[in-house]
A and B are shown apart, each in its own frame.
Chain A
Amino acid sequence: MPAVSKGDGMRGLAVFISDIRNCKSKEAEIKRINKELANIRSKFKGDKALDGYSKKKYVCKLLFIFLLGHDIDFGHMEAVNLLSSNKYTEKQIGYLFISVLVNSNSELIRLINNAIKNDLASRNPTFMCLALHCIANVGSREMAEAFASEIPRILVAGDTMDSVKQSAALCLLRLYKTSPDLVPMGEWTSRVVHLLNDQHMGVVTAAVSLITCLCRKNPDDFKTCVSLAVSRLSRIVSSASTDLQDYTYYFVPAPWLSVKLLRLLQCYPPPEDAAVKGRLVECLETILNKAQEPPKSKKVQHSNAKNAILFEAISLIIHYDSEPNLLVRACNQLGQFLQHRETNLRYLALESMCTLASSEFSHEAVKTHIETVINALKTERDVSVRQRAADLLYAMCDRTNAKQIVSEMLSYLETADYSIREEIVLKVAILAEKYAVDYSWYVDTILNLIRIAGDYVSEEVWYRVIQIVINRDDVQGYAAKTVFEALQAPACHENMVKVGGYILGEFGNLIAGDPRSSPLVQFNLLHSKFHLCSVSTRALLLSTYIKFINLFPETKTTIQDVLRSDSQIRNADVELQQRAVEYLKLSSIASTDVLATVLEEMPPFPERESSILAKLKKKKGPGAVSELEEGKKDQNSEINGGVEPTPSTASTPSPSADLLGLRSAPVTGSAAPSSANLLVDVFSDTLSSNASLAPGTEDNFLSSGIAASEDPALPVAEADELLNKFVCKNNGVLFENQLLQIGVKSEFRQNLGRMYLFYGNKTSVQFQSFTPTVSYPGELQNQLNVQTKPVDPVVEGGAQVQQVLNIECLTDFDEAPLTNIKFRYGGTLQNITLKLPITINKFFQATEMPSQDFFQRWKQLSLPQQEAQKIFKANHPMDSEVTKAKLLGFGSALLENVDPNPDNYVGAGIIQTKSVQVGCLLRLEPNIQAQMYRLTLRTSKEAVSKHLCDLLSKQF
């Protein structure tokens, strides 16, 4: 029986519910329900007109039956009748039924809309709220058509009750989300923004959600809300815990509203107005400070509410990515949480740190927590927490800690949950490749992967190790020796046999001198695995055998015997049979010379993006990887830019250390000689897609995707801000609105560059006719050459596509190229134009020089037009580490001990263009007291001095 019967007593309903609960079996329950359904049906059909109360009761019973999981196909009409009752409770049940059980029966919707219309016009706030709740719950297009213009009026009318305003705001939000085209923008929107100042906290709480959504869609139109939101937030954050009365939750003032305000601010870049920005930074600092204060209550609700605000504040700090102090403090705070006794906090700290790891300002700070994170991976009892730890290790990995992280992940793999093994395998494979300085380490790592988790090692992973071994002659002998040893294990994974077969077939000769791994020993070892393997592996092994015949003539007769045996030459599998027959024939009729040519060592594979990375992206969903990849402070790029000498790999002529395809291809072997074809079939999948991406090759420059652009829309307003954001860095989010996110990752060497644009579809709907086009304003056409690859015109919902741009700087330039992106989204044509973050400083080659050289050159460039100077106020805290990082990011070398004043910075470099090289010297003099800088540029070209000075002066 009901424990409480509040308000009314629909006894009939209570009795029915009790009956159902007393049913001993599922069958009994169904029987009872069918009986009730028959009863209700007859009542509804009966001659006797039902009174409102009975209708309400029966409709309620139907609702209960529906909630038990049964289908309800009648009663809608009775529910609609209830809507027009003047009795509140009947109306309320009618609305509930509609909200839970609405179907798109258009006739009914018309009746429902009619009832809603009457209630909205009733001026009875309780009725109005019911009607608004119903619209918000159903949110159908028909309702939007009927009410989208009425609700804004209710929302901003002076005499509307607070509770109605709250419902109206969220109701409008729902309609705006389902049918944005039907909600008319207009005068009401500016009044909505001012609801941020409303006296009533509940109204503000509801309105912020609506405002946030409007801002996402039209950031420019709602810019004024930034300062309003900051001042509201500031009042809440600084209020005492009792000031806000019922809006204080376990001693935390207005946590929901605070979170929503912080979320709203994440629609915008940091405020431009210094006063607003100062106030906001103060708020964020206060929130960080409060985390250190002793708790005002021991209740978990207190700490949860407090930390909810803290995590949202940290999200905002990460979003701004411009306040090193706050970023580092955020990181330290999260570091404390990593060891907190609450599992929830540990989980969230790991999650949040993942994004911090990708900020250049906090990457190092995140790295200091490596031991704790490794420990979490080993000891956390909850797999979802361990998963976060693995993600974070991946995000914080760089050249300095790669070996440690990879080895920890490998050992975790031995006991890892099945659900996440494949992902860990991919991550290990990527990290091992990306940060390999020493290729024997890379080979060991991948073979370990196969040994530990062979089932989870996908084709992409083992294809990749083979490509790398083939491309790098310094590791081939080691690889042969290592696979040979690995194959000694009595039970080894089939993937190991594949890798072993391929590598020994190519490089078995490198270890054949040792009698323990003589040709016959190698052959017998491989052949002992043959019968346990699948067809595809056997096919591969047959190819290995024919390669052996070429490498080791002494194995010829043994191998021919094997090929000749019935189990090969008469194998039921066509592929195996064909190989056996052809290889046998080849080995008997071809001369040694022909054999040597046909079975020559595989030529190097062209470099390109790792297929493993693509696989991880696919697996983790769009954005997941690129965010980590894109934003990560990539020390490689510095190495690549020539700032530091390349470590050990410098001694070999092969491509530089990074193998993820970000480097230009080696000149050798972009076209595979025909002799490779014998083995190609096994790898046909990987070979077919090999288009050389080398920025230097002429072919690329001819296959231009640049159309003479007709009339690109003007660049968005913040384009210059965007450009400034990328002057000193190469990776990050270039653009984001509610439909599309564009990430950029680029690198430059000498006068060439390559840029990857990642277009992410944030919606669940396909983009069609997606066409990004590059254009050159003004003179730029003759100064810069940007080659694009065409992009697939269809971008699926939630998917991300990548576009590669090859860039060549012909001569110095001062305008940025534009990209115009057009696509259809749900029938409307979207048109976005952005400046591409390509500025002249990207083609800097840093030059180290001793003090006396610097001053000598400085003097040589003493003509007035060679110098450009600016004196400006600091816009950011004057932190010397940050300044150094920015100058390095700018591209020039940072020369230590050159300027007699140790506070000053001097730099030197050469701008590399195809036609000219421009030597540049720079000097930056901070004045801490005055919070000013003086920046002086001297170069051999007037325009370059000026332009560099302009670009750099906006960075501090």
Chain B
Amino acid sequence: MPLGRQMQFMLLFSRQGKLRLQKWYVPLSDKEKKKITRELVQTVLARKPKMCSFLEWRDLKIVYKRYASLYFCCAIEDQDNELITLEIIHRYVELLDKYFGSVCELDIIFNFEKAYFILDEFLLGGEVQETSKKNVLKAIEQADLLQEEAETPRSVLEEIGLT
């Protein structure tokens, strides 16, 4: 990226190394994405708990933090601010927590689309868009309201694809 610095990507993965969410802010091929993910998950999981949250990786800086069973991991550029990135992660966790009510890994698995929507309200194109928790959640809740108005209840059979 010749112009300016920003977050390159964010990955969420479990202690078992399962990828739970991936968001790429730079164009990369699927193959490259898979390779990066594999390498990085391995590197981060190999680190001990008390170690520092930052590491140099290729020509990027990785900022990561573990919340319960999930690792949140961001790649930023050399001149970027590590600590504020750490707090980007934390604010995102807070947003998820507030939205789901004590968020756990399962919430993110089953509602991955919501996790994406919340992330898009908070970070756009790798830059912080809105830091106010209220404003982000207001946007998401408005969308949920639109959703509920639109939905009509369906039969369970139809839902599971038996009709």
- Residues on A close to B: CB < 8 A? 1-8, 10-12, 14-15, 17, 21, 39, 53, 60, 63-64, 67, 69, 71, 87-89, 92-93, 96, 99-100, 126, 129, 133, 136-137, 139, 163, 166-167, 170-171, 173-174, 176-178, 180, 201-202, 205-206, 209, 212-213, 216-217, 246-247, 249, 254-257, 259-260, 263, 301, 304-305, 307-308, 311-312, 315, 343-344, 346-348, 381-382, 384-385, 387, 621, 738-739, 762-765, 798
B82 touches A344 (CB 8 A): yes
In the assembled complex, the Cα of A11 lies from the Cα of B6 at a distance in Å of: 37
In the assembled complex, the Cα of A838 lies from the Cα of B27 at a distance in Å of: 43
Contact with A along B50-62 (1 / 0, CB 8 A): 1111111001000
Identify which of A21, A180, A206, A257 contacts B109 (C-beta below 8 A). A21
In the assembled complex, the Cα of A365 lies from the Cα of B12 at a distance in Å of: 41
Task: Give the residues in chain A near B150, CB-CB below 8 Å.
Answer: 87-89
A4 touches B129 (CB 8 A): no
- Residues on B close to A: CB < 8 A? 1-4, 6, 19, 21-22, 27, 30, 34, 48, 50-56, 59, 79, 81-84, 86-88, 90-91, 99-101, 104, 106-107, 109-114, 116-117, 120, 124-125, 127-135, 139, 142-144, 146-148, 150-151, 154, 156, 159-161
B4 touches A96 (CB 8 A): no
Given contacts A88-B150, A177-B3, contact A3 B107 (CB under 8 A): yes
In the assembled complex, the Cα of A664 lies from the Cα of B60 at a distance in Å of: 39
Top-10 shortest CB links A-B: A308-B83, A763-B2, A11-B159, A2-B110, A7-B144, A308-B84, A174-B125, A246-B132, A88-B146, A170-B124
B129 touches A166 (CB 8 A): yes
Task: Give the residues in chain B near A259, CB-CB below 8 Å.
Answer: 81, 84
Return 22 A-B CB contacts under 8 Å, by A number: A3-B100, A4-B107, A5-B110, A8-B144, A8-B148, A69-B34, A88-B143, A92-B117, A137-B125, A170-B127, A171-B125, A176-B3, A177-B1, A202-B130, A216-B3, A249-B131, A256-B131, A259-B84, A304-B90, A305-B84, A308-B84, A384-B55
In the assembled complex, the Cα of A385 lies from the Cα of B47 at a distance in Å of: 13
Task: Give the residues in chain A near B55, CB-CB below 8 Å.
Answer: 384
Task: Give the residues in chain B near A53, CB-CB below 8 Å.
Answer: 151, 154
B127 touches A384 (CB 8 A): no
B88 to chain A: closest residue by CB = A256
In the assembled complex, the Cα of A178 lies from the Cα of B6 at a distance in Å of: 13
In the assembled complex, the Cα of A64 lies from the Cα of B86 at a distance in Å of: 27
Q: A217-B3, A255-B84, A621-B59 are in contact. List 20 more A-B contacts (CB 8 A).
A: A2-B107, A3-B110, A5-B111, A6-B144, A7-B144, A7-B147, A8-B144, A67-B21, A89-B151, A92-B113, A137-B120, A166-B129, A170-B125, A209-B128, A246-B132, A246-B134, A304-B83, A305-B84, A307-B83, A311-B82
Identify which of A17, A93, A202, A765 contacts B132 (C-beta below 8 A). A202
B147 touches A88 (CB 8 A): yes
B160 touches A12 (CB 8 A): yes
B129 touches A205 (CB 8 A): yes
Given contacts A12-B159, A305-B87, A347-B54, contact A4 B132 (CB under 8 A): no
In the assembled complex, the Cα of A381 lies from the Cα of B48 at a distance in Å of: 10
Measured CB to CB, the closest approach of chain A to B45, in angstroms, equals: 15
Task: Give the residues in chain A near B27, CB-CB below 8 Å.
Answer: 139, 178
Task: Give the residues in chain B near A17, CB-CB below 8 Å.
Answer: 109-110
Task: Give the residues in chain B near A3, CB-CB below 8 Å.
Answer: 100, 104, 106-107, 110
A384 touches B87 (CB 8 A): no
Given contacts A11-B156, A202-B132, contact A6 B114 (CB under 8 A): yes
B113 touches A4 (CB 8 A): no
Given contacts A93-B113, A166-B130, A348-B83, contact A11 B147 (CB under 8 A): no
B131 touches A163 (CB 8 A): no
Task: Give the residues in chain B near A381, CB-CB below 8 Å.
Answer: 48, 50-51
The binding surface of chain A is classed by DSSP as helix
Measured CB to CB, the closest approach of chain B to A860, in angstroms, equals: 54
A206 touches B107 (CB 8 A): no
In the assembled complex, the Cα of A10 lies from the Cα of B111 at a distance in Å of: 10
Task: Give the residues in chain A near B160, CB-CB below 8 Å.
Answer: 11-12, 15
Task: Give the residues in chain B near A129, CB-CB below 8 Å.
Answer: 139
Task: Give the residues in chain B near A167, CB-CB below 8 Å.
Answer: 124, 129
Measured CB to CB, the closest approach of chain B to A927, in angstroms, equals: 41
Task: Give the residues in chain B near A100, CB-CB below 8 Å.
Answer: 116
Task: Give the residues in chain B near A621, CB-CB below 8 Å.
Answer: 59
B159 touches A96 (CB 8 A): no
A312 touches B81 (CB 8 A): yes
Task: Give the residues in chain B near A64, CB-CB below 8 Å.
Answer: 112
A254 to chain B: closest residue by CB = B131
In the assembled complex, the Cα of A209 lies from the Cα of B4 at a distance in Å of: 9
A89 touches B128 (CB 8 A): no
In the assembled complex, the Cα of A604 lies from the Cα of B158 at a distance in Å of: 89
Task: Give the residues in chain A near B53, CB-CB below 8 Å.
Answer: 343-344
Task: Give the residues in chain A near B124, CB-CB below 8 Å.
Answer: 133, 136, 166-167, 170-171, 174, 206
B3 touches A344 (CB 8 A): no
Measured CB to CB, the closest approach of chain B to A808, in angstroms, equals: 38
Task: Give the residues in chain A near B143, CB-CB below 8 Å.
Answer: 7, 88-89, 92, 126
Task: Give the residues in chain A near B111, CB-CB below 8 Å.
Answer: 2, 4-6
Measured CB to CB, the closest approach of chain A to B91, in angstroms, equals: 7
In the assembled complex, the Cα of A384 lies from the Cα of B59 at a distance in Å of: 14
Given contacts A67-B19, A249-B91, A348-B82, contact A739 B2 (CB under 8 A): yes
Task: Give the residues in chain A near B151, CB-CB below 8 Å.
Answer: 8, 53, 89
A202 touches B81 (CB 8 A): no
Task: Give the residues in chain A near B133, CB-CB below 8 Å.
Answer: 246
Task: Give the residues in chain A near B3, CB-CB below 8 Å.
Answer: 176-177, 180, 213, 216-217, 738
